[in-house]
Amino acid sequence: MASSLTTRLRGLAVDTRPLSVPAFRRLWAGQIVTVIGNQMTQIAVPVQVYSITHSSLDVGLTSIIALVPLIVFGLYGGAIADAMDRRKLLMLTGVALGLTSVVLWVQALIHGLASLPLLWSLVAIQSALFAINSPARSTVIPRLVRPALVPSANALNQIVQSTGVILGPLIAGVLIDAGGLPWAYFVDALTFIVAIYTIVRLPSMVPEGARRAGMSSVMEGLSYVLRRPIVLTSFLVDIIAMVFGWPRALFPQLSATVFGAGGLGWLYAGSSIGALVAAVFGGWLTRVHRQGRAVLFAIVVWGVAIAMFGLTHNLALAVLFLAIAGAGDMVSSVFRNSILQTASPDAMRGRLQGVFTVVVTGGPRLGDLRAGGFAAVSSPAVSSVAGGAMVIVGIAIVAVLVPSFRQYDARNATAMAEADQPEGEPAETA
């Protein structure tokens, strides 16, 4: 009986088989430190903006300054990733990101050099480089591991991301309190040395059917998305989840009026804790083949949890519901990414990942606007409950209207991708 229980527990643990592939293992190990470093800068920048201007409005505007390059270069960055050796692109953007972090460190270190225009310029440059780097990084996964292990590889990446979101701010807080802002930027710059080393050792990865990057290439990618229901729906369901269910804009008000100041950090960490736990115990993900249904179910879980979050006045329950929501979002993200990576041709993956970058960064910003607007005319509780309900209704409508997404089966990814393409177009190899 003990042996049977041990076997079941091992089956729940995250599938680490992708780490047996040396190239993927090196890339994953490099991400561990770079994500933590990036999160430290994400904390240091708003702290520095506020120290310069003493204005929360300027802190909020900094987020918009970062969003615009993410959207613009996310689309174009995907086209670049489909036009050149992705290993070389990762190296170039990695070096440039490291240099940007060095400049952030220098401007924070030298008294009198820091200014809001300089800081905003560096944030915009950093966001543009990240938007180019991110699609290329995602496209290499199906080139490094076999299709059956793609969900497991994405789950391992989710562990890195969730861990970084939790540890990065904590480490940044300690460093900023102990030694000042320059230390956070300095550590972030150092992490890129590790990242570049892991990228240098990757194999060359020239896209199949590589073509010149340009506006026509970007439009071709957008047309590909719009003309394929499975691909389009993978983006649409995330937009529904984030725009209607994203709760973070409510946390400051809830902290001040319901949970108390000590609850703010727990509210922000709640979803990341759930995502991390779900990823660590995500061994079952590799055994799920009906990935379309899994995405729909996971987002419904997200919606229900967000609605329940709005109904509670107990901090522990609030964090629990946020953790459940984060777990649902993690599962949705793993399978949505896996669908994009396995149901699309290699020549198109960069542009699809560029759209993915825009969606996952833009959706939460629109969600902030929706949640804050609803709360302003009603209450945070009404905003959360109504948002969660709209997520559930929206996903139910999608499930009925797009049966091909609901029926998507990873075991027949190539056949389903061919069936998803418009009539008259030549077949493409996924």
The answer to whether residues 189 and 102 touch, using CB atoms and an 8 Å cutoff, is yes
DSSP string for residues in 292-344 = HHHHHHHHHHHHHHHHHHHH---HHHHHHHHHHHHHHHHHHHHHHHHHHHHSS
pLDDT tens for each residue of the chain, 430 residues long: 445 544 554 556 778 889 999 989 988 888 888 888 888 888 788 888 888 888 766 776 787 788 888 888 887 888 888 888 889 999 999 999 999 999 999 999 987 788 899 999 999 999 899 888 888 888 888 888 888 888 888 888 888 888 887 888 778 778 877 878 889 899 999 988 888 888 888 888 887 765 666 677 777 777 888 888 888 898 899 999 999 998 887 887 887 788 876 777 788 788 888 998 988 888 878 788 889 999 999 999 999 999 999 999 999 999 999 999 999 999 999 899 888 877 777 778 788 888 888 888 778 878 888 888 888 888 889 999 999 999 999 999 999 999 989 988 887 766 666 656 665 454 454 4
Q: Please give the model's pTM, rounded to 2 decimal places.
A: 0.75
> 309: Cβ–Cβ under 8 A, 6 or more apart, which residues?
247, 318, 321, 322, 325, 384, 388
8 A C-beta contact, residue 136 and residue 198: no
Structure tokens belonging to residue 20: 């047996």
DSSP 389-421: HHHHHHHHHHHHH-HHHHT--GGGHHHHHHHHS
Tokens 């225009």 correspond to: 117
Distance between CA 14 and CA 156 in Å, rounded? 7
Of 208, 221, 229, nearest to 345 by C-alpha is 208
Q: Which residue has the tokens 């509670």?
A: 312
Q: Which amino acid is at 308?
A: M
Contacts of 274 (CB under 8 A, 6+ apart): 322, 323, 324, 325, 326, 327, 330
DSSP letter for each residue of 178-237: HH-HHHHHHHHHHHHHHHHHHHHTSPP-PPTT----SHHHHHHHHHHHHT-HHHHHHHHH
Half-sphere exposure of 279 (CA within 13 A, CB side): 26
Separation in Å, CA 339 to CA 56, 131, 260, 411, 417? 39, 21, 41, 11, 10
